[in-house]
Structure 1
Amino acid sequence: MTPVLFDLLLRSVWETLLMTFAAGLISLIAGLPLGLALVATDRGGIAENLSVNRLAGAIVNGFRSVPFIILLVALIPVTRLIVGTALGTAAAIVPLAIAATPYYARIAEVSLREVDRGLIEAVRAMGGNRWTIIREVLVPEALPGIVAGFTVTLVTLIGASAMAGAIGAGGLGDLAIRYGYQRFETSVMVAVVVVLIAIVCGIQWLGDRLVERIDHRA
């Protein structure tokens, strides 16, 4: 690999990490409250409201059912409105975040549903309100699953960011297509695959270690 291609590889790694973690952070900030809302408003929840629950569930399922490459193209007007362009790393963060938020919301919902209802009832019996239950019971008890789900979301975003490279988002996917595939640079394609594997393994390892540290049941 020439020095020029190596510099392109380093820049692409940075762009991929930027897209992944920026979109992941947005999905965490927006997806966790959405997951909490899905659990709280469900039948028997701490803020039961089936109409709101069904509406939120329909919106989440609607976004999750659209393949990412289609969503990427469909959101181009929204991306231009927010970022000012539909090309580049910053533009790719918008559809990545919108796709990851409902995905992570469902993962967080599963973890939150596994919290022992006996603990919730105990806090209620002691006069705890909804926010107390969320702050003192739901989130702390589900935290290992929430972190593990966020790790899975980040890994999924890496694959999605590579797909976004097909329409000019930059990153490792763009490098693999433009140089590895179109210019038959086998060394570039191999390097991209190796780097992607290393990033995924690194994120998964860090996520697993963090889960072990915060899981009081272990």
Structure 2
Amino acid sequence: MIGRTWILAALVAPACVYAGGTANLTARDEQGKQLTATVEFVGTSRLRVTSPNQPGAYMIARDGKVYNIAKIQGRTVVMEAKDLMRMAGNMMPSPTAAIEQVNSVVSLTPTSAKETVAGINGTVYKLTYEDGQRRTRTEDLVLAKDARATEFTSAAVHFGKTLAAASGTIIPPGADDLVARIQRDGMGLLRFGNRIEINSLNGTTPAATRFDLPAGSFQMPDLGGLFPGLGGAR
């Protein structure tokens, strides 16, 4: 499944809930493993993620749910992400892990440095925070007052929060504080340290059919209802 520690270090409100686009990004998990992904979105209500790291599989978020679609023995199978998480457990890290490390924000300060990411001019911000072990850490964030960036980060974080809720992951208060600070300034995220960087980002709304579940696919039943003890929340 395309569930690796990658999306989301910050979020902001979209300039227009119906705006959409496509982002290509590179991210690294806590072990330094690199992941590339393409994210297509329309507002916060529709999102599709594909990755060459997981050929033949993709994820769709729609109607308040996240689905994983994959080929299994030549058959297209659709499974709700919450059920896949019950089975995979710790094999599927939360995609919000990049902000889950922020237990409390010490400061978020703009610097004089400028950086162009994905062709968008941004400002380097210095984030100082405490992690879950109360160790003080710093990261460079590149933020921009750009509609494409604000719309994408809003869509991506909505997706990540939906998955976090499905897995029982509790996002710490520091992450919400970071979000509020960025949202207050009307910024969008282009880079979060070396954990995530947007490679390209366009504002062309994808076709509605990109977010349809595949016709003729086999949809797995609610495994939690059939087997209440399966996996369990983390």
User: Fold conserved (TM > 0.5)?
Assistant: no
Greater per-residue strand proportion: 2
TM-score (norm 2): 0.27
Q: Report the structure, 1 or 2, having the larger helix content.
A: 1
Relative contact order (alpha carbons < 8 A, sep ≥ 6): 1 or 2 greater?
A: 2
Normalising by structure 1, we get a TM-score of: 0.28
Larger Rg: 1
